[in-house]
Amino acid sequence: MDRLSDQAVNCLKYVSTATLTTQLFRRGFRNVFMQGVALLGKIENANMVGPAFTLRNIPAREDLDVLEIFMDPENPQRKGIETVPPGHVLVQDCRGDKTAASCGSILTTRLKVRGAAGMVSDGAVRDSGVIAALGFPVFCAGASAPTNLIKHHSVDMNLPIGCGGVAVYPDDIIVGDIDGVVVIPGHLAEEIATDAAEQERMEDFILQRIEAGAPLRGTYPPGDETRNAYAAWKRQKFPSD
Amino acid sequence: MDRLSDQAVNCLKYVSTATLTTQLFRRGFRNVFMQGVALLGKIENANMVGPAFTLRNIPAREDLDVLEIFMDPENPQRKGIETVPPGHVLVQDCRGDKTAASCGSILTTRLKVRGAAGMVSDGAVRDSGVIAALGFPVFCAGASAPTNLIKHHSVDMNLPIGCGGVAVYPDDIIVGDIDGVVVIPGHLAEEIATDAAEQERMEDFILQRIEAGAPLRGTYPPGDETRNAYAAWKRQKFPSD
Amino acid sequence: MDRLSDQAVNCLKYVSTATLTTQLFRRGFRNVFMQGVALLGKIENANMVGPAFTLRNIPAREDLDVLEIFMDPENPQRKGIETVPPGHVLVQDCRGDKTAASCGSILTTRLKVRGAAGMVSDGAVRDSGVIAALGFPVFCAGASAPTNLIKHHSVDMNLPIGCGGVAVYPDDIIVGDIDGVVVIPGHLAEEIATDAAEQERMEDFILQRIEAGAPLRGTYPPGDETRNAYAAWKRQKFPSD
Amino acid sequence: MDRLSDQAVNCLKYVSTATLTTQLFRRGFRNVFMQGVALLGKIENANMVGPAFTLRNIPAREDLDVLEIFMDPENPQRKGIETVPPGHVLVQDCRGDKTAASCGSILTTRLKVRGAAGMVSDGAVRDSGVIAALGFPVFCAGASAPTNLIKHHSVDMNLPIGCGGVAVYPDDIIVGDIDGVVVIPGHLAEEIATDAAEQERMEDFILQRIEAGAPLRGTYPPGDETRNAYAAWKRQKFPSD
Amino acid sequence: MDRLSDQAVNCLKYVSTATLTTQLFRRGFRNVFMQGVALLGKIENANMVGPAFTLRNIPAREDLDVLEIFMDPENPQRKGIETVPPGHVLVQDCRGDKTAASCGSILTTRLKVRGAAGMVSDGAVRDSGVIAALGFPVFCAGASAPTNLIKHHSVDMNLPIGCGGVAVYPDDIIVGDIDGVVVIPGHLAEEIATDAAEQERMEDFILQRIEAGAPLRGTYPPGDETRNAYAAWKRQKFPSD
Amino acid sequence: MDRLSDQAVNCLKYVSTATLTTQLFRRGFRNVFMQGVALLGKIENANMVGPAFTLRNIPAREDLDVLEIFMDPENPQRKGIETVPPGHVLVQDCRGDKTAASCGSILTTRLKVRGAAGMVSDGAVRDSGVIAALGFPVFCAGASAPTNLIKHHSVDMNLPIGCGGVAVYPDDIIVGDIDGVVVIPGHLAEEIATDAAEQERMEDFILQRIEAGAPLRGTYPPGDETRNAYAAWKRQKFPSD
């Protein structure tokens, strides 16, 4: 993962996609959260984070999309899985069609073995029980048994695509947590990681006050008193910052 | 909660929304169950029950719905949360748009601290993992990270609204269980609570007979023999009734 | 279950619906997996398998669909549940309308007591928490409290129907796992069971190789080397085959 | 058309479906208007009116629904068209799937030649330009070129069905105008025809007053003054009534 | 119409909604065009233009929404129609539910007689043929015969609402043409009218060049040469500008 | 148009898309008709026919999709319009999103001037009234005023795409009539043109018989007698065939 500093990756692993969308909204981005794409299985203890490697599918055609095409190692779906660099997230454009699978347990296992950071699809997956138990982050539109050949023709890789209604350019930074998947334009990821971490630190402080009975007014968003108290708390807790 | 007797509240906490919709259907109500609204997280050991306090959202507008508006304590979303009376359920009209959040963990925590009985929205929530773990009943259209400002402008509170396709008038009684959320017109809540409790008592008896191998005919709905047996069982189990 | 050999039933209990849709795709079937129908609760340790017994619902009409009709034992919903042969799967056509229940806990319990193999509906169910805990396979479009009478008029049984967008003929073989429900045309079920079991055995072998680091090329789909290794492995593990 | 008097048929030809749904609402019917079904082409000078003759379609299956089946005169689609009695309306249940045709110009021409009163489908039609020019009332979900065999298997005729979300029983009275299609339960058609004609006569009178500048209050709905004026106007215009 | 100069109104009558959305996009507005709302009938020779007067509907409730409520002149639907000022556009929030009518021919005629500038609804209308022939601009979600009482409870007027997914504040300027309906925030209407008229003048010039064979490059958007030619053409055609 | 003989083009201009989908179904193609795409305006006296030239759009991003990008002649939308060869059909993939325009009157006029055979989009168009009057075939998902920049980022041209749910490969043959748009795989277009023309000739004969009162049985599909009569009629009418 050469585009992001280790520190930024670390920040992105522990902030929420809610915080990230707020940081992006501050910068004028309103459409960065994938619709209809959810975590399969349970969330790991850290977010899925990695640059996007894209795979594009168009509707299948009966004469082209037959089982025999998988014998061809140049088939974009198979080649894509063998090409996604370690640490990257494979993002599949399935046009939001969840009536067939975009992949199953064997391909997902291969992705995991190859060191991918995760898989995102706005189509469905098959073998959903096996995949959910892999310990590998997968975000998708649900479970559907039919083979991809019935609906999806994988056509090319690492072009800009749409996924879940959001533009995904290769090497955009993909972050997934229990709320879903956010796409951070690559050139903004470093600064957003920093600002998001700071926002969450303050919101942790605010949440403590709210839990202790503070009203919203003056606390969330913070007024002067809360800001000062936060600054003092931060100096004490994170003296090196 | 001054509109319902303690006994009625207690009944409503332990009957199912299925039973309540049947009681409402008996009285001519066909559209009392919210569509597209589901429990977030696990069900508590009792239903969510409380009078409705409503919050209305209209579509956002780019020049009005900016982060700065939250500094205004009169903002209806913030004010609504500070105003909902203890024991009431905050019901949000988000026009069924689940592409952005209607609230997040801090506001929901504030609702809980203030003693609200629960929160219902036909939009989504952000920080869904945190909210699901709060031990506070939330029913919504799913999880979505983006801030409400992207889609929702909170405009006024405690007017009649629609939520999940159902009319909600302030102080209607809202009941939520694992099936979802039912809206009981306020003036009927007392009698429906009583009748629902009785219906469930009989259905518990019927279910025992079905589990023991009784056929539907004569048992469900009960014929004379079953009714008599139920009456005897009831006299024995609940002699004071 | 007289249409399928015990061996075929046993195969179908332990293969995935993903594998079954691939076997059906091989034979020219593209539309055999129900859309919008998912497992309620947790999967059992084996698939739901059984011949279809169908129940058809049309939209309700206010003057016909009243609570009193359940007193009539000839009501198709009640009669259907009393008629479905042991080992069969009750499949309900609810036109994909999930705004009301197609059945609740008492009827589902009766189905279980009568020895049905499971229940499938492209409508919703009520009492979803109770049903999910029954230890009886139910696949449906979700949870919805309102009585079926609000939307569904059960009209006849064991005619060909649509369910989840798929044609279901009486005695087609219905198989459900965590991905969902597949419909196998009755006359093909025996051969598909056999071929699916063999496909899964090979895929188990392939998955081991993938887990061990083998690339897709030559492994999935298997090339000559993998096929030979599989044949050797199979001879050793299943010498009697 | 033996179920309705000539006078009732004549009334139904010239009242609006709006008026009919109001008459049905008065009697407790809320779901009598087909959703997603619209007139193809221009309205004739009178409504389509006739008893329903139904045709049911389920999803197609690749091995059964091939071009050769049309050689069989017992095919329900072909037989249905040859069986619908003169003056009846053929109503097709296509499950609201408009991605393929439910019929084309040749079958529709045959319906017209046989004296049917019209055709209603909640699927699409092909050859929509030719059909729109036939001078034969067709109400459907739009135009779609693909043959019905791709999506629809005609399975039986003259059973109760759903069409456009409404229950249709054989011999219910179907009325179509520019707003769409209403289904009148057969046993109510005579009285509803009479009452609808009277309602429209009064509304014609009211509309004249509104056009002349009368306010809604006292006019629509009519107060005593308007009712008396209407009674006088009616005596003068329709002295024999 | 006191909020807009006559000149601005005149500009808005003859520019397209396409041009207006571009002017709004320039100022940061992305969500100003109603979705699912279309012109009923043929376009007049000028756009519908006027300040918004709003009417809000929530879902109907069976015990409240009965035919008798129309006797009450305070009913918001009836009162709204009698209150909308001449030159204003009545905008109805029907939550995008087009399964019942939001009004019919008598109410629409009353609106016309009272001098309203038009009617917009994201619900349907009944008597669609009569309304389309009124010579009064109506934009809606289609035709549907059932009375509003089945789905819509009119609840209040001239509050901010949503319509077709867009925020509508009272006195926002509503413009409708054959593409549909755009909402201009009131405080921007004057300047947008001016800029839109100038944009259209230039685009008329550009279109002439394109029709004459000019390539897009340098013409659309205009380069220096085209801009100069346009300036000369404008000086000649509109010397007083 | 070098891929098709003049004779084939001529056949395709006068057969219906209904006939073409039947010919494709005969060859195993079930998904060749675009969904949600309809003719804008009135049909010309011949079909739109031409090889596909594709343009792909992904979701817009706020920082990239600004009005200034149109100054760049390499912008794929603008370049695509200047590049589509005469006689070809521009086919746009807008992911079925009709909430913004995929083009307007100036670009469409340029397409016409450049000699394109037509334009197809599964998004909307703006200036729909002007475009409908151009005498240039446009098939799209409807009218929508907002500029494409709000939703669509044109990203590349003449790659395989999806449009209306159908795979479109460059140089596939696109045919549009009043029912909609069919995509014929390029290598099959010649033979399908021939067979479709013959099918239509026979169906014209059949339609005459149906109009004259012939029953479906033996006529449609034709039995031996009808086939012989058709052969005789054909020999007489088209002696040179």
Each residue's pLDDT tens digit, A159-201: 999 999 999 999 999 999 999 999 999 999 999 999 999 999 9
Strand-pairing partners, residue D201, are none
Q: How many CB atoms lie within 10 A of CB D226?
A: 18
Distance separating alpha carbons of residues D218 and E72, to the nearest angstrom = 10
Specify whether the backbone of C240 is left (phi greater than 0), alpha (psi in -120 to 50) or beta.
Answer: alpha
pTM of the model: 0.97
Chain A partners of C211 at a C-beta cutoff of 8 Å?
109, 113
Structure token pair of residue D37: 């079904």
pLDDT at residue B2 in the model: 52
Pure H helices in chain D? 6-14, 17-26, 76-83, 105-113, 128-132, 189-211, 224-237
Q: How do residues B113-165 score in pLDDT, each as one tens digit?
A: 999 999 999 999 999 999 999 999 999 999 999 999 999 999 999 999 999 99
Do the Cβ atoms of D174 and D130 come closer than 8 Å?
A: no
Under an 8 Å CB criterion, which residues of A touch B? 16-18, 20-22, 25-26, 30, 32-33, 35, 38, 43, 177-180, 182, 203, 206-207, 210-211, 213, 215-217, 220-221
Q: Are A114 and A89 in contact (CB under 8 A)?
A: no
Find chain C residues with C-beta within 8 A of B221's C-beta: 67, 70-71
CA of A50, closest CA in chain B: separation in Å?
Answer: 18
Contact across the interface for A145 and C203, Cβ inside 8 Å = no
- Give me the residue label for tokens 């699978």: A101
Residues of chain E contacting residue F105, judged by C-beta atoms under 8 Å apart = 207
pLDDT-based confidence at E43, cuts 50/70/90? Answer: confident
User: How far apart are the C-alpha atoms of F211 and F228, rounded to whole Å?
Assistant: 19
Cβ contacts of B59 on chain A, cutoff 8 Å? none
* D59–C159 CB contact, under 8 Å: no
Burial of F98 (0-12, 13-18, 19+ CB in 10 A): buried
What pLDDT is attached to residue F74? Answer: 93
Residue from F75, F143, F137, F130 nearest F111 by CA: F137
Q: What is the pLDDT of residue D44?
A: 75
Query: Average pLDDT in the B209-218 region?
Result: 97
What is residue A116's predicted lDDT score, i.e. its pLDDT? 98
User: Is C104 close to B206, i.e. CB distance below 8 A?
Assistant: no
CB spacing of C33 vs A105 below 8 angstroms? no
Q: Do F206 and D106 touch (CB under 8 A)?
A: yes
Q: Which of E14, E23, E179 to mutate to test the interface with F (most CBs of F within 10 A)?
A: E179
Task: Classify D135 as helix, strand or coil.
Answer: coil
Instruction: Look at residue C1 in the predicted model and tell me its pLDDT.
Output: 42
Chain F residue closest to A188 (CA)? F63
Mean pLDDT in residue range C33-55: 94
For residue E197, what is the enclosing H or E element?
Answer: helix E189-211
Q: What percent of chain C has pLDDT over 90?
A: 94
In the numeric block, which tokens belong to residue C50? 């059984």
Q: Across the interface, do F59 and A153 touch by the CB < 8 Å criterion?
A: no
Position C143 scores a pLDDT of 98
Looking only at the bridges linking them, the beta strands covering B89-93 and B48-59 are parallel
Which residues are bridge partners to B48 per DSSP?
A: B176
Q: Which amino acid is at A150?
A: I
Measure the CA–CA gap between D139 and D42, rounded to whole angstroms: 11
Q: Name the token pair of A204.
A: 């942790």
Q: Which of B127, B131, B151 to mutate to test the interface with A (most CBs of A within 10 A)?
A: B127
Q: What is residue A49's DSSP assignment?
A: E
Mean pLDDT score across all residues of chain A: 96
Q: Verify whether the Cβ–Cβ distance D67 to F180 is below 8 Å.
A: no
β-bridge partners, D91: D54, D120
Query: Nearest CA to CA, how far is F143 from chain D (Å)?
Result: 17
Question: Subunits touching B (CB < 8 Å, at least 3 pairs)?
Answer: A, C, E
Pick B143's closest partner by Cβ from A32, A178, A211: A178
Q: Compute the distance between CA of residue D121 and CA of residue D144 in angstroms, rounded to an integer.
A: 13
Task: Measure in Å the smallest separation between the Cα of F150 and chain E Cα atoms.
Answer: 6
Tokens 């159902």 sit at which residue? B166
Contact F129 E43 (CB under 8 A): yes
CB contact under 8 A, C78 and B26: no
Cβ pair C13, C46 in contact under 8 A: yes
pLDDT band at residue D2, thresholds of 50, 70 and 90? Answer: low
Q: How far apart are CA A142 and CA A40, in angstroms?
A: 7
C-alpha to C-alpha distance for C209 and C132, rounded to whole angstroms = 37
C216–A147 CB contact, under 8 Å: no
Contacts of B210 in chain C (CB under 8 A): 106, 109-110, 113
The shortest CB-CB distance from C210 to any of A109, A143, A146 is to A109
What is the average per-residue pLDDT within E14-33? 98
Beta strands in chain B (DSSP E): 38-39, 48-59, 89-93, 118-121, 138-140, 152-157, 161-163, 166-168, 173-177, 180-184
**Contacts of residue A240, Cβ cutoff 8 Å, sequence gap at least 6:** none
Contact C106, B214 (CB under 8 A): no
* Dihedral angle over CA of C162, C163, C166, C167, nearest 10: -40
Q: Which helix (H) or strand (E) holds A225?
A: helix A224-237
pLDDT of residue B45: 84
- Quick one: pLDDT band at residue C94, thresholds 50, 70, 90? very high
- CB-closest option in D142, D145, D147 to F182: D145
d(CA A106, CA C19): 12
Q: What's the mean pLDDT in D124-145?
A: 97
For the purposes of burial, counting CB atoms within 10 Å of the CB of E135, is it exposed (0-12), middle (13-18) or buried (19 or more)? exposed
Percent of chain E with pLDDT over 90: 94
User: What gap in Å lies between CA C14 and CA C47, rounded to an integer?
Assistant: 6
User: Could you report how far apart the first and last alpha carbons of chain D are, in Å?
Assistant: 25
Contacts of residue F33 in chain D, CB cutoff 8 Å?
A: 99, 144-146
Strand partners, B118: B89
**Could you tell me which chains touch chain E, where touching means 3 or more CB pairs under 8 A?**
B, D, F
Least confident of B39-43, B88-92, C126-130, E71-75: B39-43
CB-CB under 8 Å, C160 with D155: yes
d(CA E70, CA E72): 5
Pairing between strand D138-140 and D118-121? parallel
Q: What is the DSSP secondary-structure string of E1-58? A: --SS-HHHHHHHHHS-HHHHHHHHHHTT----B-SS-EESS---SS-EEEEEEEEEEE
Query: Which token pair is B189?
Result: 């809540």
CB pairs under 8 A between E and F: 83
The answer to whether residues B126 and B138 touch, using CB atoms and an 8 Å cutoff, is: no
Quote the CA–CA distance of D166 and D169 in Å, as a whole number.
10
CA distance B199 to chain C (A): 13
The answer to whether C210 contacts A150, with C-beta atoms less than 8 Å apart, is no
User: Which residue, among F81, F85, F58, F54, has the nearest Cα to F70 in the 3D structure?
Assistant: F81
Beta-carbon contacts below 8 Å between D and F: 83
**Average pLDDT of the residues of chain B:** 96
A/B touch flag: 3 or more CB pairs below 8 Å: yes
- Which phi and psi angles does E28 have, rounded to 5°? 95, 10
Assess contact for D182 and D20: CB atoms under 8 A: yes
* Interface contact flag, E216 F71, Cβ < 8 Å: no
Q: Do C203 and A106 touch (CB under 8 A)?
A: yes
Residue D34 and residue B21: Cα distance in Å, rounded?
A: 26
Residue of D nearest to E100 (CA): D33
Q: Quick one: pLDDT at residue A23?
A: 98
Q: Which of A72, A50, A66, A79 is nearest to A172 (CA)?
A: A50
Query: In sequence order, what are the beta bridge partners of F169?
Result: none
E148 and B40 Cβ atoms separated by less than 8 Å: no
Write out pLDDT tens, residues D208-220. Answer: 999 999 999 999 9
Please give the Cα distance from A113 to D14 (Å, whole number): 72
Q: CA A87, A88, A94 angle in degrees (round to 5)?
A: 150
Q: Residue D63 — φ and ψ, nearest 5°?
A: -80, -20
From D214's Cα to the closest Cα of chain F, the distance in A is 37
With touching defined as 3+ CB pairs under 8 A, do chains E and C touch?
A: no
Residue of chain F minimizing CA distance to D110: F210
**Does the beta-carbon distance from C155 to D159 stay under 8 Å?**
yes
What are residue F152's DSSP bridge partners?
A: F59
- Taking residues D125-153, what's their average pLDDT? 97
Distance from CA of A74 to the nearest CA of C (A): 9
Q: Do C167 and D160 touch (CB under 8 A)?
A: no
Tokens of A60: 């299948």
One pLDDT digit (tens) per residue for chain F, 241 residues:
457 999 999 999 999 999 999 999 999 999 999 999 999 988 778 999 999 999 999 999 999 999 999 999 899 999 999 999 999 999 999 999 999 999 999 999 999 999 999 999 999 999 999 999 999 999 999 999 999 999 999 999 999 999 999 999 999 999 999 999 999 999 999 999 999 999 999 999 999 999 999 999 999 999 999 999 999 999 998 887 6
Residue found by looking up tokens 């096929």 in the block: C227
Provide the mean pLDDT of chain C.
96
Question: What is the rounded distance in angstroms from the CA atom of residue A51 to the CA atom of residue A88?
Answer: 5
Q: Is the pLDDT of residue D146 over 50?
A: yes
For the beta carbon of residue D69, count every other beta carbon within 10 angstroms. Answer: 16
Phi, psi of A133 (to 5 degrees): -95, 5
Amino acid found at A158: N
Q: What is the mean pLDDT of residues C216-231?
A: 96
Pick E210's closest partner by Cβ from F99, F101, F109.
F109
- Comparing F237 with E94, the larger pLDDT belongs to E94
User: Is the confidence at residue E40, as pLDDT, over 60?
Assistant: yes
Contacts of B80 (CB under 8 A, 6+ apart): B53, B55, B90, B154, B157
